Structure 1
Amino acid sequence: MKASYTLSHPVLPQGAASKIDLLVTFSAEDAAAATRRSLNLSVVIDRSGSMAGAPLKHALQASRELVERMGPEDSLSIVTYDDAVATVLAPTKVTDKAAIGKVLSQVRAGGCTNLSGGWLKGVEHVSSQKSDERINRVLLLTDGQANAGVRDPGQLTNMAREKSNAGIITTTLGFGANFNEDLLIGMANAGEGHFYYIQSPEDAAGVFGIEMEGLGSLVAQNLEVVIKPAATVKVASVLNRYRFESRGQEVAVGLGDVYAAEARQLAAELSVEASSAAGPVTLATLAYRAQVVVDGSVREVVGEIPIVARLASGMDVAVSPDKNVLAQTSRLRIARVKDQAIELADKGELASAGKRLREIISEVSQYLDKASYEIAEEMEQLAHYAQRLESSKYDAVIRKELRDQSYQAGTRNRGDLALRGTAGGSADSLEAVSDAGGGIVLECVREGGKLRVHATSAGYDPGFNVQFPRSVREEGVRYVVEKLETSGDGTFYRVGGSIKRLVVPGQERVARSQDAATSARKGKPSASKVTAGSAADLPTTNSVGTGVIVQCIKEGSKLRARVVSDGYDPDLNIRFPRDIREENVLYVVDEIITMANGTSYIACGDIKRLVQ
């Protein structure tokens, strides 16, 4: 493992106090020579009713692809959970992949979400095979809230920290819009693992691939850095989301694991007192230690780096700042502001949340231009989120995108995980035309959990990203623009002039502010009525869509219906047609409403039987 550093301002003024950013990078000495360590994994899969359909299907497919990446030296266990916890594959060497695939193919959706029970069973299996020379990790998949077993987020986070201290790491993966992102991020941070937001089930395989790429290129574990500032220097702030503690003037930071496929970075802001001296000055010393595996055994490596700047006067101080460092540290400061915006929005202060996002846009724009696509995209996303908040359009998806982006920026160094999110705006506000005329045709597509716009007209590079207003990005929509300008660095395009939506003939229309269909009032829902004689006579569906999942369970001599979709209380009774009740069958109803007294539910609209 090698370590290097850069400063935002390598030359400081004599006789004046300064604030500078320090960026330290830890990476593999030789990425190609990184030795793959054997894996000891447990995959813990939420099979609660809310996972039924596409989420569970894609989670299982991603698990199969994970198995394909493993080898006979690796150990794997698989746990599923709803109300109950089941070990469907006890810890075993990955020698018969077809047999493991058969086990996965038999997993079906069930009831509520005993997240703690499933996770703890996975920890138990990893613990039984634990070795310091192996990678010992639990991958926890869920789309919902912990509504059975241990439910308290603080308790679960503390439990994850305890298991991490014992050498068992936890990575969490949240599916859809109903899981508790604060809980999963908290468990991942405390558990020294990673968190992933899988907004679309189709993204699951790509996210699993990212996790496995890292595990297959582990260079060092338990990296800890101690920043020892000089007498005239203070550590004003650690900008990453790593755990850290102050020890007098010194600051100790835990960075976790270092991968050959992903360098680990530490960013800090330093305050330097005024000095009349000239020439090189040591601002701080960085002491680090980590565990590496050499010839099959764990060894500790240690090192120190002096952080040196130069004090100068006059024109020598006018050296341009390192914009790469500023871009990296700005990304971390923006991540903090996103969390601040969430905190304000959660309290209902949406206008203040939007204002805070616009303030950071203004601050960053003073010293960073939009020469790179990443910076331009960050600014566009911030403006989009600000507009959404100011328009009182704050929902679970926006919150999860902001939290995920903040988390990934603060803990990871991968472009494919940065700025993920597909909750764009709507192209419905644009004028719709069926003839592109002399305009340039663009298309909005989903790529790795992001909405991207590319040119499809001849003469333009279809591989270039197009900097495009996020408020009108909509997956699958085509656009006509007046012109495209190539960016200053020649790596992406910017839109110029008007933007219109390209439609098929007969769908042309003028621009409008919103879709009339979305503003139409819904009629009052009515209780479900069915003419089917039994559950077998119901129409079937393999997709939940916008519906709500109900399951029938046996309690004594009675068949009781309960809501198992997240966001509902599974302990409340529900008015549900008795003739179609059948034990363990899953149903999809159009809507669930709560009785006025808040003590029970009513199933409304059509009812279908969910087949898997």
Structure 2
Amino acid sequence: MKLSAALDVDVVALESADELTVLVELVAPEAPSANRPPTALQVVLDRSGSMSGAPLDGAKKALAGVVAQLDPHDVFGVVTFDDTAQVALPASTLMDKQRAADAIRAIETGGCTDLSSGYLRGLQEIRRAGESAGIRGGTVLVISDGHINSGIRDVDEFAGITAKAGSKGIVTSTMGYGRGYDETLLSAISRAGNGNHVFADNPDAAGAAIAGEVDGLLSKSAQAATLTVRYDQRVQELALFNDLPAHQIGDGEVMIELGDLYALEERKLLLRMKVGSIAALGLTELATLQLRYVETASLVEHTVSLPVVVNVVPGDEPAGRVPDPKVYSERLYQEGQQDKLEASRAYEAGDIDGGTRRLARSRQKLEYAMQEARPEDRAAIADELAMLDRFGISAGALDSVYASKAMRASYHRTNRKRGRRH
């Protein structure tokens, strides 16, 4: 795994408080050259009445494609849920793909929406089958089109369950299908579960989203990745721009959960450090970054460390310093992402005017980010600006439900999994 860090400014004034922004970039290892190790995927599929017809047929078609794509030694299972959970396909290795395809084809719609019963049953299945096949961890993919009306509905309680599963190596990803699901709940449980959250508005988009999740799973080269930041007592405050699970694990020590990474995946994280006065001139180490991960091919744990160092100079010397454009642009970009999240929340609550104002602020921040960005980074920001314009048009046409869900999924890609290519 490659790990690098850059400061917006790397000189600070003697005996003066300051604020620094740290851009952390990492690149996952290449895929193993030999045959990849077996993986485990457990699908938890909403089969409530609202999934009847094209939505369920599209999901079943996509899952049949997953079966064809997986290796016979991979573990795969499907649990469905309406007001109760049912094991449609017991999790096991795919030695009999026809049996798996037939089980998926036989799924029919039911009644209400109790996601928690389906998710908990799915966890049981992937743990049982994974242990039997000697597979460490795995992925649970939740597919739902509705607001939860039975079982666990509290966001924090549900997120606590997926976080606990994540601590055991089981990643939880979610796909919101159509325009009736609860984007707050689904995005929160994927965040806590170190997974991905995507929005699919129709069967074709759902098929593409499911296929993309499986592509990432099959090319996974690192798992259980964490970034621990150990910071000096002179760092009075440490904040993370990315909306990732972070835990204070000791005095001056924060651990950020990164989850799994696919081959050569790039990630960007942004930290803000408020620094108190430093009484000595010269190079000063303010923090140490420690990246830990398990290489998927060998299951060997690796550790990579990197110091964060500033140069303390006399008080008048930093007066003309110019922030690193790459780091400054990333900060503006992430501030724009936060405004986009607030716009999504406003649209979700039916506040179209408030959402439109926040969307305009997001666009302004991204325009500033574009001005500061390196030429090679401008195309991605231009794409993001065009997407914001489409969101604004959708919301202005009174389709704020679509805008809210599309923005929540976009926020996941551009903030939580910044740099992720799918």
TM range (shorter): 0.7 to 0.9
**Cα distance in structure 2, aligned partners of 1:270 and 1:184:** 31
Aligned residue number for residue 250 of structure 1? 253
The question of whether the paired residues in 2 share the 8 Å contact of 1:323 and 1:368 is answered with no
Alignment counterpart, residue 161 of structure 1, candidates 163, 172, 175: 163
Q: Look up the match of 1:93.
A: 93
Distance (whole Å) between structure 1 residues aligned to residue 369 and residue 276 of structure 2: 23
Give me the CA root mean square deviation. Answer: 3.2
Q: In the alignment, which residue of structure 2 is the partner of 1:374? A: 380
Paired amino acid for 2:301: E
Taking structure 1 as the reference length, what is the TM-score of the superposition?
A: 0.60
The question of 1:397 aligning with 2:396 is answered no
Which residue number corresponds to residue 107 of structure 1?
107
Pick from 201, 204, 211 the counterpart of residue 202 of structure 1.
204
**Aligned AA for 1:206?**
A
Give the superposition deviation at 1:407: 2.0
SS in 1 for 2:290: strand
How much identity, in percent, do the aligned residues show? Answer: 27
Tell me what 2:218 maps to.
216
Check the 8 A contact 1:213/1:261 in 2, yes or no: no
- Give the equivalent residue in structure 2 for 1:42: 42
C-alpha distance in structure 1 between counterparts of 2:394 and 2:296, whole Å:
49
In the TM superposition, what is the alpha-carbon distance from 1:63 to its structure 2 partner? 0.8
Is the radius of gyration larger for structure 1 or structure 2? 1
Aligned to 1:227: 229
**Residues 187 and 366 of structure 1, relative CA distance in 2, 3 Å threshold:** closer
Tell me how far 1:178 sits from its aligned partner: 0.3
Relative to structure 1, the CA distance from residue 96 to residue 367 in structure 2 (aligned partners, 3 Å threshold; closer, same or farther) is closer
Q: Give the 3 Å change call, closer, same or farther, for CA 311–183 of structure 1 in structure 2.
A: same
CA contact under 8 A between 2:221 and 2:297: conserved in structure 1?
A: no
Which residue does the alignment assign to 1:443?
A: none
Pairwise mapping of residues 59-458 of structure 1 onto structure 2 (< 5 A)? 59-131=59-131, 133-246=135-248, 247-273=250-276, 280-293=283-296, 295=298, 298-310=299-311, 321-345=323-347, 350-366=352-368, 368-369=370-371, 372-382=378-388, 385=391, 393=398, 395-414=400-419, 416-417=421-422
Change (3 A) 1:327 1:97: farther
Alpha carbons of 1:304 and 1:34: their partners in 2 closer, same or farther (altered >3 Å)?
farther
1:554-573 equivalences under 5 Å are none
How many angstroms apart in 2 are the aligned matches of 1:61 and 1:346? 30
Mapped partners of 2:349, 2:210: distance in 1: 34
Which amino acid in 2 is paired with 1:218? K
| Deviation of 1:89 (Å) | 1.8
Cα gap change, 1:357/1:192 in structure 2, threshold over 3 Å: closer, same or farther?
same
The question of whether the paired residues in 2 share the 8 Å contact of 1:52 and 1:109 is answered with yes
In 1, Cα distance between equivalents of 2:74 and 2:402: 36
SS at match of 1:130: helix
How far apart are residue 74 of structure 1 and its match? 0.9
Looking at structure 2, the residues matched to 146 and 138 of structure 1 have their Cα atoms a distance apart, in angstroms, of 18
Listed one character per residue, the Cα deviations across residues 354-403 of structure 1 (whole Å, up to 9, x for unaligned) are 333333444454454286232233334445656776x6946221111222
TM-score, with length taken from structure 2: 0.84
Secondary structure of 1:4's counterpart equals strand
Query: Counterpart of 1:267 in structure 2: which amino acid?
Result: L
More helix by share: 2
Task: Output the CA distance in 1 between the equivalents of 2:3 and 2:158.
Answer: 35
Post-superposition shift, 1:285?
Answer: 1.2
> How far apart are residue 73 of structure 1 and its match?
1.3
* Letter of the structure 1 residue corresponding to residue 28 of structure 2: A
